[in-house]
């Protein structure tokens, strides 16, 4: 692709997504016309192959332009129902990244301080041999498997299975540190933990409320749907500690203090209930625990909340009015978030509070309403569904004996294996087998190396870093130490990444070149649960290999290759279709490919095919997709249409001890069956024959036809929970961040007590908060982190693209002009860039450029998190294998973010800690 074409496509894509910034006034239709003209300019003697962007979970489609087996560019996929041809700057850089000269080209090993090329065979033999040795001497839990959200769903599934056959639950990935609290917060409210509606559905919202999301930079193309809703009369409100690019497009911006989401939301809810605006019918029919919730929320008056959050009481009252009366008549309100809300010690509670705000008005289960978690990586929904997570088996099955037996019955079809065979692979520790115990998490895996008190037989001695950017993880100095302590570190990625460069060691690292997602076939699931088939564009470049091939080769060498006898990704997806019953992920490869071929038949308004062979189906067959004829469920918990047509109910998942089949009750004996709407008596989850039971989760062969024909939802009709009795805080309450600028509020709203065993390691809460109670005296500013539109995740891919690096070459920290003046920092008023500064916390310090702007107030500092290659001001550029270095480096903010973690999921707190800034 020529630079001119790149610039043109970038401008078009960005304009379509961000018409308010770059192309004021252009309608989606006008943008579509412009793109049609662009596509018409493409030469006709090239092969255009449908594919999907790999940079965020919007799931934008594009056409890869293939000439003689080489990807020479891209063209817009104009009738793709989600993006309609538009792409953002990251997306349009895909050919450049695919062909990047800095990709890892061969297996490499570090020997005596130098990088040495290996053959694949030698590399895999050495890795397998070391694995066997560690499994024999230290036990299977001494190997940590860090997986990837950047591979296909099939490969995610195989990775979780690979860890299981290696006898450990020490397997985890990015979703732990981006949306694990989303899953926990939503699943504990109404049973599924995914985005309830979709990007396109936001066109039908009456009010769109962003709380900790900056889609204009992180999910740019999704903005076309939001701006369309705005054009149709919806109000768009952005609440964020920082005036973001999304805030610039909003009708209203609300600045609030990092870490105070719950009081902000409870303040809004408080005004709604006091004015009697809440939806009492919905609450009576479909919710549980309102009174207990109100006993907490009644104390968060606007005046109390103003003191905690920075938000004036009058603004809270106005937000409450707007939430209860969306300006676009007859349309509900939705709430959207990303890591601004999830990455906190109270992350799970933040998301619970959002879900309760939806319950309060009954907006959940409606088009235009719902909870829209904007996920990051292109397949982080798929990787979450496949549960590369240390506390689940694929498709959200727990670690109980019943769950293991379920998957063993699926895996059995390759070669016989019994539950006892599988159990024998796992170590015993404490009161029983570790096969039933949560493993270490990616957020704190290094504690498994360094902590002599880790709750497993021996510390971690070897780690796989498979497609994960380690610079995304907090406490980097500790992690660096762990990377230097393990006996072998294996990196698997298209790029060398900091797996190759961060550890200060002369040997003990092997890095394997994985193929990119454009060099293999497979499915990916975007944030809206839409499953899309991605075609291979080109054969893997250099010596890179698909991840599935690498896993199969290792499985052969480790003696369980007979359980990995797949011929193709389609084989794997069919196995997933069979076993993933909790979410009914029955989107067959054939149906997905048929949708891809007929994308023009799908409407942009509701993502439904209005004609053609897929007529009636929703794009991506969003789960639950109950059988081979089901259209998919685009809006969760919508009960005004039949389940067979895409309707759904709150699952009857939550059951107190006194529950019986057919009669699930809460811990305090209240029926958890919904009532008074479609089904007068409600009903429990059921077996394939329609009788009460739990068959829907375990019955591999049931296709649910009879039950669906009866207009029943096999997972039951339950209640959404205001009170989640199984969580540390059944009703969310405000808890100050570990490091707070308000010592007085720490007294009033303290964090949690310390926990001795949180995913196998100790986690300090109260102890460190108390120790740092007056930290604000020495570290007076609040540090928060976030994204840049040009970069993605840990940044190894995007910082290897010359165009993106040219657009965004520097790591920086945003500081307010008042702070800059006080510190004597000089800056250019055109570029906002200024002198180098140090940003320092109790964990360490980063040397970065000052970016002087009023986006942040004079109490806040913002740093983007995509950077690596510099550690506390020292460049590590010479540590990459020759020719494999990235094109831009910077200090990683995760060297200095706080050592606080979500009480339920171990999510790291990157959005609120205390720092000081000074001129470098």
> What's the min distance (Å) between Cβ of 517 and ligand SF4?
12
Q: Is 91 in the site for ligand SF4 (CB under 6 A)?
A: yes
* Positions 202 through 241 that interact with ligand SF4 (CB under 6 A): 219-221
Q: Is 84 in the site for ligand SF4 (CB under 6 A)?
A: no
Strand pairing of 287-288 and 252-255? unpaired
Compute the distance between CA of residue 452 and CA of residue 415 in angstroms, rounded to an integer: 39
Question: Which segments of 310-463 does DSSP mark as H helices, in order?
Answer: 313-324, 339-342, 347-361, 380-385, 401-411, 419-425, 447-450
Nearer to ligand SF4, 407 or 803 (CB): 803
What are phi and psi for residue 895, nearest 5 degrees?
-70, -30
Which residues pair with residue 335 across a beta bridge? 209, 371
Q: Count other C-beta atoms under 10 Å from residue 451's C-beta.
A: 18
CA–CA distances in Å: residue 595 to residues 58, 76, 459, 479, 756 = 17, 18, 48, 44, 50
Chosen residue from 88, 262, 336, 781 binding ligand SF4 by CB under 6 A: 88
Nearer to ligand SF4, 167 or 494 (CB): 494
Inter-residue long-range contacts of 507-510, CB under 8 Å, 24+ positions, other chains counted: 507/109, 507/110, 507/111, 507/112, 507/113, 508/110, 509/109, 509/110, 510/107, 510/108, 510/109, 510/110, 510/118, 510/123, 510/126, 510/127
> What's the min distance (Å) between Cβ of 88 and ligand SF4?
3
> What's the min distance (Å) between Cβ of 893 and ligand SF4?
21
Nearer to ligand SF4, 55 or 772 (CB): 55
Q: Binding segment for ligand SF4 among 49-57, 330-338, 605-613, 765-773 (CB under 6 A)?
A: 49-57
Chosen residue from 49, 58, 202, 884 binding ligand SF4 by CB under 6 A: 58
Nearer to ligand SF4, 328 or 791 (CB): 791
> What's the min distance (Å) between Cβ of 80 and ligand SF4?
10
Q: Is 87 in the site for ligand SF4 (CB under 6 A)?
A: yes
Nearer to ligand SF4, 532 or 751 (CB): 532
Secondary-structure percent of the chain, ordered helix, strand, coil, rounded to 5 = 35, 20, 45
Contact residues for 199 (Cβ-Cβ < 8 A; gap 6+): 58, 82, 222, 225, 372, 527, 528
Q: Is 60 in the site for ligand SF4 (CB under 6 A)?
A: yes
Annotate 616-677 with three-state secondary structure: CCECCCCCCECCCCCCCCCCCCCCCCCHHHCCCCCCCCCCCCCCECCECECCCCCECECCCC
> What's the min distance (Å) between Cβ of 809 and ligand SF4?
19
673 by Cβ neighbours in 10 Å (0-12 / 13-18 / 19+) ranks as buried
Q: Is 90 in the site for ligand SF4 (CB under 6 A)?
A: yes
> What's the min distance (Å) between Cβ of 791 and ligand SF4?
10
Q: Binding segment for ligand SF4 among 56-64, 159-167, 313-321, 628-636 (CB under 6 A)?
A: 56-64
Return the DSSP state at 376.
-
Nearer to ligand SF4, 90 or 847 (CB): 90
Contact residues for 24 (Cβ-Cβ < 8 A; gap 6+): none
> What's the min distance (Å) between Cβ of 337 and ligand SF4?
17
What are phi and psi for residue 449, nearest 5 degrees?
-90, -45
Tell whether omega for the bond before 624 is within 30 degrees of 0, i.e. cis: yes
> What's the min distance (Å) between Cβ of 90 and ligand SF4?
4
- Per-residue binding string, ligand SF4, 162-201, x by CB under 6 A, is ----------------------------------------
CA–CA distances in Å: residue 426 to residues 140, 169, 312, 433 = 7, 9, 55, 6
Dump the DSSP string for 128-152.
HHHHHHHHHHT-GGGEEEE--SSS-
Compute the distance between CA of residue 606 and CA of residue 474 in angstroms, rounded to an integer: 39
User: How many residues interact with ligand SF4 (rule CB under 6 A)?
Assistant: 14
Nearer to ligand SF4, 168 or 198 (CB): 198
Q: Count other C-beta atoms under 10 Å from residue 882's C-beta.
A: 9
Nearer to ligand SF4, 53 or 335 (CB): 53
Q: Binding segment for ligand SF4 among 53-61, 658-666, 742-750, 801-809 (CB under 6 A)?
A: 53-61
> What's the min distance (Å) between Cβ of 245 and ligand SF4?
13
Chosen residue from 50, 55, 653, 879 binding ligand SF4 by CB under 6 A: 55
Nearer to ligand SF4, 220 or 622 (CB): 220
> What's the min distance (Å) between Cβ of 87 and ligand SF4?
4
Q: Binding segment for ligand SF4 among 81-89, 134-142, 353-361, 822-830 (CB under 6 A)?
A: 81-89
> What's the min distance (Å) between Cβ of 338 and ligand SF4?
12
> What's the min distance (Å) between Cβ of 215 and ligand SF4?
9
Q: Is 380 in the site for ligand SF4 (CB under 6 A)?
A: no
821 by Cβ neighbours in 10 Å (0-12 / 13-18 / 19+) ranks as middle
Compute the distance between CA of residue 41 and CA of residue 47 in angstroms, rounded to an integer: 14
Compute the distance between CA of residue 695 and CA of residue 91 in angstroms, rounded to an integer: 42
> What's the min distance (Å) between Cβ of 795 and ligand SF4?
13
* Positions 778 through 817 that interact with ligand SF4 (CB under 6 A): none
Q: Binding segment for ligand SF4 among 51-59, 595-603, 694-702, 762-770 (CB under 6 A)?
A: 51-59
Compute the distance between CA of residue 733 and CA of residue 751 in angstroms, rounded to an integer: 10
CB-closest chain residue to ligand SF4: 91
> What's the min distance (Å) between Cβ of 83 and ligand SF4?
6
* Positions 547 through 566 that interact with ligand SF4 (CB under 6 A): none
Q: Binding segment for ligand SF4 among 86-94, 501-509, 640-648, 672-680 (CB under 6 A)?
A: 86-94
97 by Cβ neighbours in 10 Å (0-12 / 13-18 / 19+) ranks as buried
CA–CA distances in Å: residue 463 to residues 107, 391, 508, 893 = 17, 18, 11, 23
Compute the distance between CA of residue 284 and CA of residue 676 in angstroms, rounded to an integer: 8
Compute the distance between CA of residue 758 and CA of residue 756 in angstroms, rounded to an integer: 7
> What's the min distance (Å) between Cβ of 221 and ligand SF4?
4
Q: Binding segment for ligand SF4 among 87-95, 122-130, 248-256, 527-535 (CB under 6 A)?
A: 87-95
Nearer to ligand SF4, 12 or 758 (CB): 12
Nearer to ligand SF4, 59 or 139 (CB): 59
> What's the min distance (Å) between Cβ of 208 and ligand SF4?
17
* Positions 495 through 514 that interact with ligand SF4 (CB under 6 A): none
Question: Which segments of 166-260 does DSSP mark as H helices, in order?
Answer: 175-178, 180-190, 215-218, 223-231, 245-249
> What's the min distance (Å) between Cβ of 526 and ligand SF4?
8
Chosen residue from 1, 56, 489, 868 binding ligand SF4 by CB under 6 A: 56
Q: Which two tokens stand for residue 210?
A: 């962003």
Nearer to ligand SF4, 91 or 263 (CB): 91
Binding site for ligand SF4 (CB under 6 A): 53, 55-56, 58-60, 83, 87-88, 90-91, 219-221
């Amino acid at each position: 692709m020529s630079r001119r074409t790149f610039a043109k496509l970038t401008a078009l894509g960005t304009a379509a997504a961000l018409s308010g910034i770059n192309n004021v006034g252009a309608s989606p239709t006008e943008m579509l016309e412009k793109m049609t003209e662009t596509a018409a300019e493409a030469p006709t003697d090239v092969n255009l192959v449908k594919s999907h962007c790999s940079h965020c979970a919007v799931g934008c489609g594009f056409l890869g332009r293939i000439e003689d087996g080489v990807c020479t560019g891209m063209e817009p996929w104009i009738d793709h129902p989600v993006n309609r041809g538009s792409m953002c700057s990251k997306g349009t850089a895909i050919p450049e990244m695919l062909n990047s000269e800095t990709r890892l080209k061969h297996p490499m090993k570090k020997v005596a301080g130098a990088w040495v090329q290996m053959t694949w065979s030698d590399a895999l033999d050495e890795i397998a041999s070391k694995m066997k040795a560690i499994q024999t001497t230290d036990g299977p839990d001494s190997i940590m498997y860090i997986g990837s959200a950047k591979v296909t769903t099939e490969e995610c599934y195989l990775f979780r299975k690979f860890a299981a056959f290696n006898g450990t639950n020490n397997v985890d990935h990015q979703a732990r540190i981006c949306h694990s609290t989303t899953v926990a917060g939503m699943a504990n409210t109404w049973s599924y933990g995914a985005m309830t509606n979709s990007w396109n559905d936001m066109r039908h919202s009456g009010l769109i409320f962003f709380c900790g999301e900056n889609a204009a930079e992180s999910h740019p193309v999704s903005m076309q749907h939001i701006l369309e809703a705005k054009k149709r009369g919806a109000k768009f409100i952005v609440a964020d500690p920082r005036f973001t690019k999304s805030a610039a497009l909003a009708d209203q911006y609300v600045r609030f203090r990092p870490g105070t989401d719950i009081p902000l939301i409870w303040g809004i809810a408080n005004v709604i209930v006091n004015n009697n605006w809440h939806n009492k019918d919905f609450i009576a029919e479909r919710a549980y625990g309102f009174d207990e919730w109100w006993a907490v929320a009644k104390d968060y008056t606007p005046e109390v909340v103003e003191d905690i959050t920075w938000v004036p009481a009058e603004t809270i009252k106005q937000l409450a009015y707007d939430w209860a009366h969306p300006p676009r008549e007859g349309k509900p309100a939705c709430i959207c978030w990303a890591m601004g809300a999830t990455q906190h010690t109270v992350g799970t509670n933040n998301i619970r509070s959002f879900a309760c705000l939806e319950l309060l008005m009954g907006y959940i289960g409606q088009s235009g309403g719902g909870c829209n978690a904007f996920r990051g990586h292109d397949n982080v929904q798929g990787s979450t569904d496949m549960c590369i997570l240390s506390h689940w088996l694929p498709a959200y099955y727990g670690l109980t004996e019943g769950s293991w037996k379920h998957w063993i019955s699926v895996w059995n079809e390759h070669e016989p294996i019994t539950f006892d065979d599988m159990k024998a692979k796992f170590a015993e520790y404490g009161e029983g087998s570790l096969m039933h115990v949560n493993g270490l998490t990616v957020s704190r895996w290094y504690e498994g190396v360094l902590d002599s008190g880790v709750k497993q037989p021996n510390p971690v001695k070897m780690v796989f870093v498979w497609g994960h950017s380690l610079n995304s993880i907090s406490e980097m100095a500790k992690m660096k130490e762990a990377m230097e302590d393990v006996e072998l570190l294996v990196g698997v990625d298209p790029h060398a990444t900091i797996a190759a460069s961060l550890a200060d060691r002369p040997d003990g690292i092997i890095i394997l070149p994985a193929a990119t997602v454009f060099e293999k076939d497979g499915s990916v699931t975007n944030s809206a649960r839409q499953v899309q088939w991605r075609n291979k564009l080109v054969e893997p470049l250099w010596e890179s290999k698909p991840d599935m091939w690498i896993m199969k080769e290792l499985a052969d060498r480790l003696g369980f290759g007979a359980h990995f006898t797949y011929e193709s990704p389609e084989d794997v997806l069919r196995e997933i279709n069979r076993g993933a019953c909790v979410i009914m992920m029955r989107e067959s490869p054939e149906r997905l490919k048929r949708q891809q071929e007929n994308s023009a038949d799908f409407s942009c308004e509701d993502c439904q095919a209005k004609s053609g062979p897929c007529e009636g189906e929703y794009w991506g067959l969003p789960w639950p997709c109950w059988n081979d004829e089901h259209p998919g469920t685009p809006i969760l918990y919508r009960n005004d249409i039949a389940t067979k047509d895409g309707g759904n109910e709150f699952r009857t998942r939550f059951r107190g001890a006194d529950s019986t089949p057919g009669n699930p009750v809460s811990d305090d004996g209240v029926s958890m069956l919904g009532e008074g709407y479609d089904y007068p008596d409600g009903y429990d989850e059921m077996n394939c024959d329609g009788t009460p039971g739990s068959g829907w989760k375990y019955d591999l062969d049931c296709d649910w036809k009879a039950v669906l024909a009866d207009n029943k939802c096999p997972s039951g009709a339950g209640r959404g929970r205001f009170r989640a009795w199984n969580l540390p805080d059944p009703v969310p309450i405000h808890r100050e961040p570990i490091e707070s600028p308000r010592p007085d509020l720490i007294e009033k709203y303290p964090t949690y007590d310390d926990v001795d065993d949180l995913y196998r390691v100790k986690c300090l809460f109260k102890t460190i908060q108390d120790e740092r109670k007056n930290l604000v005296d020495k570290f007076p500013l609040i540090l928060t982190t976030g994204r840049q539109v040009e970069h993605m995740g840990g940044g190894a891919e995007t910082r290897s693209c010359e165009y993106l690096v040219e657009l965004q070459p520097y790591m920086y920290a945003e500081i307010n002009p008042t702070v800059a003046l006080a510190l004597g920092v000089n800056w250019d008023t055109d570029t906002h860039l200024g002198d180098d500064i140090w940003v320092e916390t109790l964990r360490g310090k980063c040397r970065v450029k000052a970016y002087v702007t009023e986006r942040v107030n004079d109490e806040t500092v913002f740093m983007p998190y995509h950077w690596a290659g510099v550690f506390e001001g020292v460049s590590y550029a010479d540590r990459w294998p020759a020719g494999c270095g990235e094109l831009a480096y910077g200090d990683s903010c995760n060297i200095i973010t706080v050592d606080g973690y979500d009480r339920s999921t171990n999510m790291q707190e990157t959005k609120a800690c205390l720092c000081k800034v000074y001129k470098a």
